[in-house]
């Protein structure tokens, strides 16, 4: 790897990992829909300026309905559910572990939608991840364990991210670059959230400046810049190797949440997270037939 690729990879992982702690803090002020809209309005403007600078081509009219669908699921649905979970009880480290199960859902959806074959290792990895998710969902309150239903919201986010991955596959490389398609999808997702405009701007008037600046940070850095740096990484190193670095996000997010928000993960969450990640590794490494591994897996929105 060249120094530029290493730098781009480092920037991507830090920005995406930091997003969980920032979301945890800002969801105390903004509602899930308002936060998602404001964040991606900022991202859309940033990417719009970049698209103008690069003279990026516009999508073909025939592709607009599917781009709108992908934006609705992969941007609007994904982030509204994630924001709702983090506004409730899910801490940043736990959310990062759960989001990283997205490739497991991707493998399942691709099995039936794209007819991609799964080996025995794939089914074993899925089972291992599900066991990890069950442990993560067993939050601790005092001295008793309880099932945290808000974990299902994060799993819903991971599911939407997986649908986003599978549905976008026919467009990548053949028609559009990853950066082009990501830009179109972010614009489409933002368009789908315009219904939140009245409430979002009401909250914007009363929100503390520090939280509003965090929204701007989330839009410019993890949502816009990190997508650009990730695209650079994918263009300059093997996809399978790049994907392996995504597994750094949960421990990084846990550490950032610990130091920034004093979120101390419980041992059950850590054990469950490690099991979930182990299952993802098994699915990606030994789960698919050779011809089924595609660059789309790398874009499964482990990205924040």
Structure confidence by residue, pLDDT tens digits, 74-84:
899 989 998 98
Classify residue 115 as left (phi > 0), alpha (psi -120 to 50) or beta. left
Q: Is the pLDDT of residue 28 over 60?
A: yes
276-286 pLDDT per residue, tens: 667 767 766 66
**d(Cα 217, Cα 43) in Å, to the nearest integer?**
9
Please report whether residue 160 resides in a domain.
Answer: yes
For residue 62, report the phi and psi dihedrals to the nearest 5 degrees.
-65, -25
**d(Cα 256, Cα 250) in Å, to the nearest integer?**
10
- Span 227-245, average pLDDT: 72
Q: Specify the DSSP class assigned to residue 147.
A: E
Please report whether residue 210 resides in a domain.
Answer: yes
Q: How many CB atoms lie under 10 A from the CB of residue 108?
A: 18
Q: Which of 2-16, 103-117, 170-184 has the highest mean pLDDT?
A: 2-16
Please report whether residue 255 resides in a domain.
Answer: yes
Q: Please, which pLDDT band fits residue 295 given cuts at 50, 70 and 90? A: very low
What was the pLDDT predicted at 287?
Answer: 63
Which residue is listed with tokens 């509003």? 212
Q: Is the pLDDT of residue 292 over 60?
A: no
What was the pLDDT predicted at 139?
Answer: 56
Number of domains making up the chain: 1
Q: Is the pLDDT of residue 294 over 50?
A: no
83-108 pLDDT per residue, tens: 988 887 677 767 777 777 666 676 66
Helix ranges (H only) for the chain are 3-26, 32-54, 64-71, 78-88, 92-99, 102-113, 120-137, 150-168, 178-192, 197-206, 209-220, 226-236, 239-244, 249-261, 267-282
Q: Is the pLDDT of residue 141 over 50?
A: no
Please report whether residue 213 resides in a domain.
Answer: yes
Q: Is the pLDDT of residue 49 over 70?
A: yes
> Which pTM does this prediction carry?
0.77
Please report whether residue 294 resides in a domain.
Answer: yes
Percent of the chain with pLDDT over 70: 73
- Span 20-45, average pLDDT: 93
Domain with 283 in it = 3-299
Q: Which two tokens stand for residue 227?
A: 């997508």
Please report whether residue 46 resides in a domain.
Answer: yes
Q: Please, which pLDDT band fits residue 133 given cuts at 50, 70 and 90? A: low
**d(Cα 241, Cα 292) in Å, to the nearest integer?**
16
Please report whether residue 128 resides in a domain.
Answer: yes
Q: Is the pLDDT of residue 299 over 60?
A: no
Please report whether residue 304 resides in a domain.
Answer: no
Tell me which H or E stretch contains 146: strand 144-147
What was the pLDDT predicted at 76?
Answer: 93
Q: Specify the DSSP class assigned to residue 224.
A: I
Q: Specify the DSSP class assigned to residue 145.
A: E
Q: Please, which pLDDT band fits residue 136 given cuts at 50, 70 and 90? A: low
Q: Is the pLDDT of residue 66 over 70?
A: yes
């Amino acid at each position: 790897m060249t120094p530029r690729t290493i730098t781009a990879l480092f920037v991507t992982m830090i920005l995406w990992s930091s997003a969980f702690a920032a979301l945890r803090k800002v969801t105390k002020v903004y509602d899930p829909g308002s936060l998602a809209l404001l964040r991606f309005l900022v991202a859309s403007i940033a990417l719009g300026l970049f698209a103008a600078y690069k003279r990026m081509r516009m999508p073909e009219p025939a592709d607009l309905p599917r781009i709108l669908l992908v934006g609705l699921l992969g941007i609007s649905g994904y982030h509204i559910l994630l924001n709702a979970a983090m506004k409730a009880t899910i801490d940043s480290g736990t959310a990062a572990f759960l989001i990283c199960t997205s490739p497991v859902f991707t493998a399942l959806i691709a099995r039936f939608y794209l007819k991609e074959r799964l080996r025995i290792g794939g089914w074993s990895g899925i089972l291992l991840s599900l066991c990890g998710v069950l442990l993560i969902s067993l939050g601790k309150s005092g001295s008793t364990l309880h099932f945290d239903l808000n974990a299902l919201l994060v799993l819903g986010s991971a599911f939407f991210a997986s649908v986003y991955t599978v549905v976008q596959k026919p467009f990548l490389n053949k028609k559009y670059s990853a950066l082009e398609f990501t830009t179109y999808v972010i614009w489409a997702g933002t368009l789908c959230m315009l219904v939140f405009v009245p409430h979002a701007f009401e909250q914007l008037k009363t929100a503390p400046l520090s939280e509003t600046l965090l929204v701007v940070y989330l839009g410019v850095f993890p949502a816009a810049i990190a997508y650009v740096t990730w695209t650079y990484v994918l263009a300059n190193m093997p996809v399978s190797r790049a994907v392996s670095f995504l597994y750094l996000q949960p421990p990084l997010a846990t550490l950032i949440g610990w130091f920034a928000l004093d979120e101390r993960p419980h041992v059950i969450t850590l054990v469950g997270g490690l099991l979930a990640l182990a299952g993802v590794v098994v699915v990606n490494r030994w789960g698919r037939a050779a011809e089924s591994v595609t660059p789309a897996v790398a874009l499964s929105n482990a990205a924040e």
